[in-house]
Structure 1
């Protein structure tokens, strides 16, 4: 129920994006959650791309073109959104919850409320939107890196030729579904993290507890949402 109320409050606070302080926090969140996470995501994406094509091409005997097509389809529909969300959850959700819990412990949230500053407008909204945008950005970055690594793995110096043939086998629905999943995952993990951070008491001992709870609950929410997406995909 707390998560639903927070979601509705964030939607109601969208007009506050016109204010510069809110935009500043938004861009900082995108930079921290998205740009700074790219080196780690690049390493994981290259490893995933290499592992998948190695299994498909060298172990199962799938052709190079077929292996790359399957990798692109699997990466866009499932691997990239979910693995990116897991990395961002472990990296950013705990930090987000810790920051808000620490602000609660230091009395900063109470001071803002007494001053008439809406917490959702200036603290929650830019963090949720920043994480959502970062999740979408890094998901496609992850997919591109994994497919590129797979193309190099199966085609060597002919990787560009194999890569140029992929658009013929990828539908716009796959790309749209990848975008929808990444946006949903980003919003969910940010909302869970903010909810746990705000729910912390004024005791500093609650800070690591809030961070741990944020990661665990965000992970559970991600897998539950992924199952929901799979069900909706089969119905579509």
Structure 2
């Protein structure tokens, strides 16, 4: 049983941890990567059952150090995909979030980089807008009492502080575009920030859109929130 526990724990752990790097660096398809995640849960679950049986049946002969390590690996194998599924069920299956759903900021500089991406650069609207408004009512245009030049400079610093890659060639005036690469799978999500003068104030609109995937697990809304929070920090609000 000890061999089975070790094998199931290690295999389940690798089936869950490796799909991201393999997709990002080795060209493994996204479908294959997600299939590995799904079956990794089963293998990890089997390892946990075996560990429980071993503790109940052969408690006196259990090597607690190795058992703890194998249990931790099995928990990762089960926990990571289950957490992802839980997030997916808690948010709408959309991947394009914007503060202005009637006139969303337009991707221009980034558009050529998205050629061939499963998710087109255009804004779908309709049901996507409805789902966003229901799930993220706090995502809306921000009015800041600073000049557009001051906000623009702060927005540049914000993008740099968040570790995004700025894309500037061909961008519209008073607009910044950037790409955020996720750590695990290396997904490319794109952001456009549009600044508009309103008297002596500045309107800030942000749009974040994933290149792949139907659901973003709430990541784009989180990214917009993170940008607006850091922007206010750069302007001295916090």
Which structure has more RCO (C-alpha within 8 Å, separation ≥ 6)? 1
Same structural fold, with TM-score higher than 0.5 when normalized by the shorter chain: no
Identify the structure with the greater helix proportion.
Answer: 1
| TM-score in terms of structure 2 length | 0.26
- Structure with higher Rg: it is 2
Identify the structure with the greater strand proportion.
Answer: 2
